[in-house]
Amino acid sequence: MTTYVIRRVLHALVVVFIVSIIVFLLIRALPGDPIEMLVAQNASQEWTPEMVEELRRSKGLLDPVPVQYVKWFSQMARGDFGVSITHNYNIGDQIKDRAVVTLLIGLTAFLIGLVVGPLLGIISAIRRGKWVDNLVTVSANIGITAPQFWVAILLIFLFSMRLQILPIYGYTLPWVNLGQSIRQSILPVFVTALGPIASSARQTRSSVLEVLGEDYIRTAWAKGMNERKVLLKHILKNSLMPVVTLQGQMLRMIVGGSVVVERVFVIPGLGKFLVDAMLGRDYTVVQGSAVVMTIVVVLSSLIVDLLYGWIDPRIQYD
């Protein structure tokens, strides 16, 4: 057991390390010079070439690339993400605040997806060919094929503009104003959860149908178990196992989706932070938030994997 956990944790660390290299190199390749943008923004001040050079040196941009990477990585490992090149604020603090917002919305959506998706899938599978099944299958297809931003726009149009029962945009933390926070969260959480619900429902449906054809289900019937017992004791656990492995993917989907959802609903989370920095060519912010988003995904996948090892008795811990 312990060796299994250690191996999985080491694996996760290696992945984070490689991700940081990929992100770092991609950021170096970004066009546009942040220092020039900074200079242009502060045009009122007189800039001599020496002063620009000095600014570059102070931001560490004159070091060789490997040195820059090691510096950045070791600082990041200590929780220091540096200072925004263009706006001079502490990135770590920003990331912390914004990660809370993204995680609140993301985890709510994840939990909803975790419960609703498999439930719909099971109902759909045991009522195969009936109207419930058709309804679930068609809705799941729409959930997968409709772009998130489009669903968001539709919902805003319907609930916020026509019916005027929900706010159009913005976000309030639940401990600041719970009522406002819930009202503002409903649409973004729903839009974020839609993909996971649809995917889990589809996966559960097909895995239940697969388990139904297994020999041990025939054994259960042959033992005289009734429909309810066969379903609850024999089908459920076996068919949910592959769905559990899918949950790591769901988290990746949710974190990736935050980029779009937060932009539509103007929510100050990590996703919006990343896109704004991207458009403003703020290197350090982009690399910091991209790495943090990935770490969130890696960590949650790790948890899912360990849970899976705990659920499936066939996984050997050696």
Partner 1 sequence: MGRLLTVTGLTTEFRTERGTVRAVNDVSYTVDESEIVGLVGESGCGKSVSQLSVMQLVPNPPGKIMAGTVDFNGTNLLKYKRESREMCAIRGRDISMIFQEPMTSLNPALTVNRQMTEVLIEHLGTEPKTAREQSIDMLSQVGIPDPGKRVDDYPHQLSGGMRQRVMVAMAMLCNPKLIIADEATTALDATIQAQLLELLYDMVNKYKTALVMVTHNLGIVARYVHRINVMYAGRIVESGTVDEIWANPMHPYTEGLLKCVPKLGEKLVPIKGMPPSLVNRPDTCPFLARCRYRQKSCFEQSCSEMTCVEGTHYTTCSVLLGGQE
Partner 2 sequence: MDNAGAIRAKTRIIPIPEDEFEVLEDQLLPPVNEFKRFIRVFFARKIVIFGAALLGLMILTAILADVVAPYGPYAQDLKNVLAGPTGAHILGTDSLGRDLFSRIIHGTRVALLVGFFSVIVGASVGTVIGLIAGFSEGILQTLLMRATDAIMAIPSLVLSLLIVGALKNGIPAVVIAVAVSMFPGYIRMVNGQVLSVKQNDYIMAEKAMGASWGRIIFQHILPNCMSPIIVMMTMMMGTSIMAEAGMSFLGIGITPPIAAWGAMCYDGYKYLMTNPLLSIAPGFAIMLLVFSFNMVGDGLRDALDPRLRGTLSE
Instruction: Give CA torsion, residues 218, 222, 223, 224, to 10 deg.
Output: 110
Which of residues 234, 258, 284, 301 is near partner 1 by CB under 8 A?
Answer: 234
Least spacing, CB of residue 214 vs partner 1, in Å: 7
User: Does 297 engage in binding with partner 2 (CB under 8 A)?
Assistant: yes
DSSP string, 164-187: --S-SS----TTT-HHHHHHHHHH
Which of residues 36, 54, 210, 227 is near partner 1 by CB under 8 A?
Answer: 227
Look up residue 282 and give its amino acid: D
Which one of 35-43, 49-57, 75-83, 213-221 is the stretch in contact with partner 1 (CB under 8 A)? 213-221
Distance, CA of 224 to CA of 230 (rounded, Å): 9
DSSP string, 201-228: HHHHHHHHHHHHTSHHHHHHHHTT--HH
Distance, CA of 231 to CA of 308 (rounded, Å): 21
Task: Decide whether 240 or 290 has the Cβ nearer to partner 1.
Answer: 240
Strand partners, 90: 83
The token pair at 212 is 């139904």
Least spacing, CB of residue 26 vs partner 2, in Å: 4
User: Does 71 engage in binding with partner 1 (CB under 8 A)?
Assistant: no
User: Does 94 engage in binding with partner 2 (CB under 8 A)?
Assistant: no
Binding partner of residue 252 among partner 1, partner 2, none, CB cut-off 5 to 8 Å per kind: partner 2
Residue 83 phi/psi, 5° resolution? -115, 140
Least spacing, CB of residue 269 vs partner 1, in Å: 38
Between helix 283-311 and helix 65-77 the angle, nearest 10°, is: 50
Binding partner of residue 241 among partner 1, partner 2, none, CB cut-off 5 to 8 Å per kind: partner 1
Which one of 73-81, 187-195, 236-244, 271-279 is the stretch in contact with partner 1 (CB under 8 A)? 236-244
List binders of partner 2 among 11-40 (CB under 8 A): 11, 14-16, 18-19, 22-23, 26-27, 29-31
User: How many chain residues touch partner 2 (CB under 8 A)?
Assistant: 47
Binding partner of residue 274 among partner 1, partner 2, none, CB cut-off 5 to 8 Å per kind: partner 2
Which of residues 2, 48, 58, 145 is near partner 2 by CB under 8 A?
Answer: 145
Q: Cβ distance 78 to 29 under 8 Å?
A: no
Which one of 6-14, 208-216, 249-257, 277-285 is the stretch in contact with partner 1 (CB under 8 A)? 208-216
Strand partners, 83: 90
User: Does 317 engage in binding with partner 2 (CB under 8 A)?
Assistant: no
Q: Which residues contact 208 (CB under 8 A, 6 or more apart)?
A: 121, 122, 125, 126, 235, 239
The token pair at 188 is 């973004």
Compute the half-sphere exposure of residue 243: CA atoms within 13 Å on the CB side of its CA.
31
Binding partner of residue 70 among partner 2, partner 1, none, CB cut-off 5 to 8 Å per kind: none
Q: Cβ distance 72 to 287 under 8 Å?
A: yes
Which one of 92-100, 124-132, 171-179, 288-296 is the stretch in contact with partner 2 (CB under 8 A)? 288-296
**Angle ∠(65,67,69) on CA atoms, nearest 5:** 70
Least spacing, CB of residue 53 vs partner 2, in Å: 25
Which of residues 102, 184, 239, 294 is near partner 2 by CB under 8 A?
Answer: 294
Least spacing, CB of residue 301 vs partner 2, in Å: 7
User: Which parts of this chain interact with partner 1 (CB under 8 A)?
Assistant: 213-216, 218-227, 229, 233-234, 237-238, 241, 312-314
